[in-house]
């Protein structure tokens, strides 16, 4: 996932989208679309400029590198979820949302005491809808200058 890896690299290096664009000689609009996930299949030249500007190998952005295996218990959860009716799924979704919000609050409270790896693992475990929501929140914080 190019967008996720770009956000990770930005966070690790404390870069804004503008700084990333300048560093990589890439138009800001292109960076914004890549970081937000709007552009998922950029040209080779764009990715080469970004990789060179960030001094990382091109395979940093390989989707194969970011694939994760689904653990057996996660597979069991998915199988159970799929056989539930709509009210059962809704109950699971609500419970998951409560737990997720609680985790975000804990993350905010603990700050740097939660490891980077733990944070990334939890982000990888989000479904697309939750990841999109998280990205929207991050974009809003960045617009406010709080990131």
Which tens digit of pLDDT belongs to each residue from 98-125?
Answer: 887 787 777 677 654 555 556 666 776 7
Domain of 28, in residue numbers: 2-66
**Strand, helix or coil at 71?**
coil
Q: At what angle do helices 2-13 and 17-24 cross, to 10 degrees?
A: 100
Q: Are residues 86 and 107 in the same domain?
A: yes
Beta-carbon neighbour count of residue 42 at 10 Å?
A: 17
Rounded to 5 degrees, what angle do the CA atoms 126, 129, 134 make?
Answer: 70
Q: Are residues 80 and 130 in the same domain?
A: yes
pLDDT value for 66: 44
Whichever domain contains 19, its CATH number is 1.10.260.40
Q: Give pLDDT tens digits for 1-26.
A: 788 889 988 888 888 999 999 999 99
Confidence class of residue 147 from pLDDT cuts 50, 70 and 90? low
pLDDT value for 136: 78
Share of the chain above pLDDT 70, in %: 81
pLDDT value for 142: 74
Q: Are residues 53 and 88 in the same domain?
A: no
Q: Are residues 77 and 16 in the same domain?
A: no
Q: Are residues 135 and 94 in the same domain?
A: yes
Structurally, the chain folds into a number of domains equal to 2
Q: Are residues 58 and 112 in the same domain?
A: no
What CA–CA distance (Å, rounded) separates 89 from 93?
A: 6
pLDDT value for 140: 76
Would you say 5 and 61 are in contact if contact means Cβ atoms under 8 Å apart? yes
CA 8 → CA 85, 91, 96, distances in Å? Answer: 37, 32, 24
**Final residue in a domain of this structure, among 36, 66, 96:** 66
For residue 31, which of 10, 12, 55, 62 has the smallest C-alpha distance? 10
Q: Give pLDDT tens digits for 37-95.
A: 899 889 999 999 999 999 888 877 875 544 455 667 778 888 888 898 999 889 888 88
Q: Are residues 6 and 55 in the same domain?
A: yes
pLDDT value for 25: 94
pLDDT value for 1: 74
């Amino acid at each position: 996932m190019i967008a996720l890896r770009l956000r990770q690299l930005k966070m690790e290096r404390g870069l804004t989208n503008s700084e990333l664009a300048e560093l990589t000689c890439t138009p800001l609009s292109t960076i914004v679309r890549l970081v937000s996930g709007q552009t998922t299949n950029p040209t080779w030249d764009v990715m080469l400029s970004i990789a060179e500007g960030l001094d990382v190998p091109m395979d940093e952005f390989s989707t194969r590198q970011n694939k994760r295996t689904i653990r057996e218990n996660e597979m069991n959860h998915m199988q159970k979820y799929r056989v539930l009716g709509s009210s059962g799924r809704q109950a699971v979704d609500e419970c998951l949302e409560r737990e997720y919000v609680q985790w975000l609050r804990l993350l905010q409270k603990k700050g740097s005491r939660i490891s980077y790896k733990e944070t990334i693992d939890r982000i990888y475990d989000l479904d697309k809808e939750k990841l999109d929501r998280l990205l929207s929140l991050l974009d809003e914080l960045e617009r406010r200058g709080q990131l």
